[in-house]
A and B are shown apart, each in its own frame.
Chain A
Amino acid sequence: MTSLTATELTLWRGPNCLFEDLSFQVAAGSLLLVRGPNGAGKTTLLRVLCGLTRPETGHVEWRGKPIEKNRQAFGAELAYFGHVDGLKADLTVMQNLAFSARLFGQSGDRIPGLLDALSLSQCARLEARYLSAGQKRRTALARVLMSDATVWLLDEPVTNLDAAGRDFVEDRLRAHIAGGGLAVAATHEALRFTSDAPAEITLGDPA
């Protein structure tokens, strides 16, 4: 079954318990929003879901198999949009994306179209160090949009983006889910979803 399942995840950071016995399932065609204030553990939860951080107890399964035993199969279907942009500051936008395309096993012919859609065409030959925060974010998004991944793990996908950028991201996210993909997005901002409201979990003690 095409789903990402977390079972009884527990993780402590120092004296703080970020989450305890957290279980959920995200099926194909659905979105899970992870909400919570800064420092509540949203990023850490996403890192646990993609296998970068090991939880203290519990496990994450993709298609019914633990991800740490199927790293490569999971990696082939995963696009992770982390809180750092994952760009080499010394390489141009084009070179950065061409490298990602090679990692995905693509020729890179989708890059110009994506750059247009993300209004990055003028920056294509610019080194990533000269981009604004929003432009870096858009470049990192281009990587996710370029992949054919089924699972999108998005960490603050609309932070630093302008209104047009947010609309674009939300449209693409909706299309991805409608097309049978699944996504987990950590955000402290509301994403506008016209149709059914997505599932949410909230981290962090409200008190």
Chain B
Amino acid sequence: MNPGRFFFAIVLRELQVAFKRWGDLASPLMFFVIVSSLFPLALSPKHEVLRNLGPAVLWIAALLATLLSLNALFRTDIEDGTMEQLVLSPYPLTLAIFAKTVAHWLLNGLPLVVLAPALAVTYYLPAEGVRALCLTLLIGTPTLSLLGAVGAALTAGVRQSGGLLALLVLPLMLPVLMFGARATDLAGSGEQIAGPVYLLAALLLLALSLLPFATAAAVRISLD
């Protein structure tokens, strides 16, 4: 079998398992929807207030929703022994880890991108702002998944690791949050967003090229 089929076999299995566990899949998304739809209700209903705060609130909610979904990323695999099989398979562990991260993004990051425009409406974001929000989430959330995977792998052997995980990865996720929210904000006021978008893309490339290796090494340590 070639590595490509190995990759897709893992992605497929991740999706199969996730769709059997609707609750786990839905709760980070529910969190995203609830938090970002509560703000307009609690804040002043003035359009300009909501328009100014919207990008930041939506991006923070997306970031926290991603954090919520990370805890079980490797823990269940390590507990039920399926991770051992991936480690001992005749393919590089990095590829298996990358496949799991891609599946995590498909299940957690992509739905955020899809839900965001509907929620952006409640903040009276103009069309350019909505477009920028989707674009930055599309480039930014894969970076969040890749960063989160490192943290999830490092803390997989630790009990009650939620706080530790957040403490580890949140500082690393801040640039994504800042560039993402800033670009959405700039687009909403009709300015150029190429700068922050290119920086987000650069962060994604950097994360793609380095982090799967780091995650694989962390998984090995967690299994030892």
Contacts and interface: CB of A to CB of B under 8 A. Distances in A.
Which has the most chain A C-beta neighbours within 10 Å: B21, B79, B88, B224?
B88
Q: Which of A82, A85, A86, A127 has the most CB of B within 10 A?
A: A86
Interface stretch (A50-58, A118-126, A181-189, A192-200): A50-58
Nearest to A128: B80
B13 A82 contact: no
A80 B9 contact: no
Nearest to B82: A86
Contact of A88 (B5, B82, B223): B82
B81 A103 contact: no
A91 B13 contact: yes
Interface in A110-146: 127, 143
A100 interface: yes
Nearest to A78: B88
B224 A73 contact: no
Nearest to B1: A105
B91 A72 contact: yes
Nearest to A75: B90
A40 interface: no
A8 B224 CA distance: 19
B209 interface: no
Contacts of A54: 224
A12 interface: no
Interface in A22-61: 50-54
Contacts of A80: 84-85, 88
Given A52-B223, A88-B17, A90-B17, A99 B88 contact: no
Nearest to A153: B88
Contacts of B87: 52
Given A102-B9, A103-B6, A82 B84 contact: yes
Nearest to A87: B80
A76 interface: yes
A89 interface: yes
A127 B16 CA distance: 12
A89 B224 CA distance: 23
Contacts of A99: 9, 13
B5 A102 contact: yes
A84 interface: yes
Nearest to B223: A52
A91 B223 CA distance: 23
Contacts of A87: 80-82
Interface in B73-95: 79-82, 84-92
A75 B21 CA distance: 31
B21 A90 contact: yes
B159 interface: no
A43 B7 CA distance: 29
Interface in B99-131: none
A150 to B, nearest CB: 12
A200 to B, nearest CB: 25
A202 interface: no
A95 interface: yes
Contacts of A143: 85
Given A86-B81, A102-B1, A127-B20, 18 more contacts: A51-B88, A52-B224, A53-B223, A53-B224, A73-B90, A78-B88, A80-B88, A87-B82, A88-B13, A88-B80, A90-B17, A90-B20, A91-B16, A91-B17, A95-B16, A102-B9, A103-B6, A105-B1
Interface of B: 1, 5-6, 9, 13, 16-17, 20-21, 79-82, 84-92, 223-224
18 contacts: A50-B88, A72-B91, A75-B89, A75-B90, A80-B84, A82-B81, A84-B84, A88-B13, A88-B80, A90-B17, A91-B13, A99-B13, A102-B1, A103-B9, A103-B89, A105-B5, A127-B20, A143-B85
